[in-house]
Amino acid sequence: MLKSIKVFAPASVSNVGCGFDTIGFAINGLGDELIIKPNSHGVLKIKKITGDKGRLPKNAEANTAAVAMLSMLKSLNSKQGFDIEIRKKMPLCSGLGSSAASAVAGVFALNEILERPFSKDELLMFALDGEFIASRAIHADNVAPSLYGGFNLIRSYNPIDIIKINPPKSLHCTVLYIDTEINTAESRKLISKNIPLKKSREHFGNIGALVHGLHTSDYSLIG
């Protein structure tokens, strides 16, 4: 087993267009770094968090990265302990998938140091357990892009089914970050549980047009 490992997981944009919980993509540059080292205590311990201004919990049961890692260790019936250092390199509550990046970094690092017992598709499920802590909902449109990279379409949640989308290579995204925080769990409570048939039909059509535009480099459809 390696003495330590450091990984980076990128930020992401979710709910692309009208693809609520359905379409997301990864962003170059922004993201989270995570370092883990095996310990002899048999517990998962968060030793240090930087870049969060002291706001994120060090309690492993309440931290998205640690919860995702605990889920993986439980599935392996592993009693191995690890020390964790999290380096936040993006704003919190910014809509850029901060919690998802931490969860993905945690499971990816753990999988590497354990010599890859799980596939990426299996890692996704553990990362979703961590993401649930932050958003109180299962949604993969931040987690999947952070794990797989690029554009991702979540076709189904039960069972999970991720489709890779190949966008035009010249397509760029400009992220405008304003100093306003949006808590995912709270904002999701504002969403209506029912959508009129006419409105949902428009959404279905626009999602199809967006995906087709990405595959065919049709910028008018993407827009």
Q: pTM of the entire structure? A: 0.90
φ, ψ dihedrals at 102, nearest 5°: -65, -45
Instruction: Show the tokens assigned to 164.
Output: 């890779």
Task: Give me the residues of the chain with pLDDT under 50, please.
Answer: none
Can you give the pLDDT at residue 179? Answer: 78
Can you give the pLDDT at residue 109? Answer: 97
Instruction: Show the tokens assigned to 117.
Output: 């017992």
Can you give the pLDDT at residue 192? Answer: 86
Instruction: Show the tokens assigned to 202.
Output: 């428009």
Measure the N-to-C terminal CA separation of the chain; round to a whole number of Å.
Answer: 48
**At 89, which helix (H) or strand (E)?**
strand 81-89
Can you give the pLDDT at residue 24? Answer: 95
